[in-house]
Amino acid sequence: MGKHEFTKSYAQSLDEKDELAHFRNEFYIQSGSIYFDGNSLGLLSKRSEWAVLSLLESWKALGIDGWTKGENPWFYFAEKLGKMSESLVGAEPGEVIVTGSTTANLHQLVATFFKPEGKKAKILADELNFPSDIYALKSQLQLHGLDPAEHLVQVGSKDGCIIQEEDIIEAITDEIALIVLPSVLYRSGQILDMKRLTEEAHKRGIFIGFDLCHSIGSVPHSLSKWGVDFAFWCNYKHLNGGPGGVGSLYVNKKHFGTAPGLAGWFGSHKEKQFDMEHIFTQAQDASAYQMGTPHILSMAPLLGSLSIFNEAGIKNIRAKSLKLTEYLMELIDNELKEYNFIIANPRDDQSRGGHILLEHEEAARICKALKANKVIPDFRSSNGIRLAPVALYNTFEEVWEMVQVLKKIMEEEQYKQFENKREVVA
């Protein structure tokens, strides 16, 4: 993109060439607003709405027989959605199951793969990870009678935004028993090289898993090809699975048969589950790592959403996402250079996820001013503005318009009418 091409007509010309443009019509978009917070909560699609109504209808029409009858029998629904998710993470058949929540699934996977022995009793993470993951890792250490202050190793960041992979590799000592890292850092959008880090972990005989919450649906993965041991994620961000929607987990097939650390009834082999035996016969794929009964109505939106992703193709989504964020950064560089904004996310395509991070000392107030102008951003303490133009429903014209709104806010100092403090939910 040339640096002179900052007109609205140019943005419109990019939209005219966009092969994914028609998917915008699949989503409910508030008239007059620009929604750039799909990396926190994706918008509702018409297919997801239909899927929820369809599953409600099966309950209404079939009652308890909905578990085995109808178009989408509930007893096999988690596995069906897992299969629909495989292409997004580069999984082989049976390696993905839709179940639980991000943190519940992390607890399950750490309980399964963390086996401290002697001095090899530490978990390696990073200091920029989402807090919930760190809470879970600390509590798992405590359950083993280990002190998190000593046994949780968190790789530091030199600038508070980026983690150097060399620093992670240097921290993989012979005391590390398990590694859990984000695929994309939630604040800065940095992509970690999962292939490289997996190879380094396996050289040392260490299991490694990734939190895909901020990459799933915006960045392609090849988990099975890379040999990743496990992964987990939520489905309500880029995947548009609905607020508080059910999460997912991945277990590499080489670990099939490994006993779940937290066994539950729905981890049973399907043919044995209703024998009601007190001896657990686990499923021989990722289904084994389910615990409780699937939350059918909360899973329903994914049936519609994943069909859109499979139709659009994750590689096509990624290509457009990169163009959107590149265009956004160029506009910010050109239009907002006098207002002290810092683009704190990686700029190169290989390292940049599906959102950008703007830093500004007045970030909380600016986010409130953007919302007052019907632009929906995401604030991250203490000075971060995350902006996620989502490939399936945002446009290049919206990117252009958002920057013009932000420029006007700064020119007129509209942000000064707001308190520079986050809302209860940021």
CA dihedral (195, 201, 202, 207) in degrees, to 10, reads -100
CA dihedral (103, 105, 111, 116) in degrees, to 10, reads -70
Using CA atoms, how far apart are residues 17 and 11, in angstroms rounded to an integer?
10
Dihedral (CA of 234, 103, 97, 245) sign: negative
Using CA atoms, how far apart are residues 85 and 286, in angstroms rounded to an integer?
13
CA dihedral (353, 228, 101, 69) in degrees, to 10, reads 110
- Residue 415 labeled ligand binder: no
- Residue 307 labeled ligand binder: no
Q: Which of 257, 209, 206 is nearest to 233 (CA)?
A: 209
Using CA atoms, how far apart are residues 131 and 381, in angstroms rounded to an integer?
13
- Residue 298 labeled ligand binder: no
- Residue 102 labeled ligand binder: yes
Task: Look up residue 268 and give its two tokens.
Answer: 């049973």
- Residue 265 labeled ligand binder: yes
Task: Look up residue 355 and give its two tokens.
Answer: 């959102």
Task: Look up residue 407 and give its two tokens.
Answer: 């420029």
Q: CA-based angle 172:173:179, to the nearest 5?
A: 40
- Residue 224 labeled ligand binder: no
DSSP 271-282: TTGGG--SS--B
- Residue 131 labeled ligand binder: yes
- Residue 132 labeled ligand binder: yes
Q: What are phi and psi of 100, to 5 degrees?
A: 60, -150
- Residue 301 labeled ligand binder: no
Task: Look up residue 333 and give its two tokens.
Answer: 């560089």
Binding-site residue numbers for pyridoxal 5'-phosphate are: 102-103, 130-133, 211, 214, 236, 265, 293
Binding-site residue numbers are: 102-103, 130-133, 211, 214, 236, 265, 293
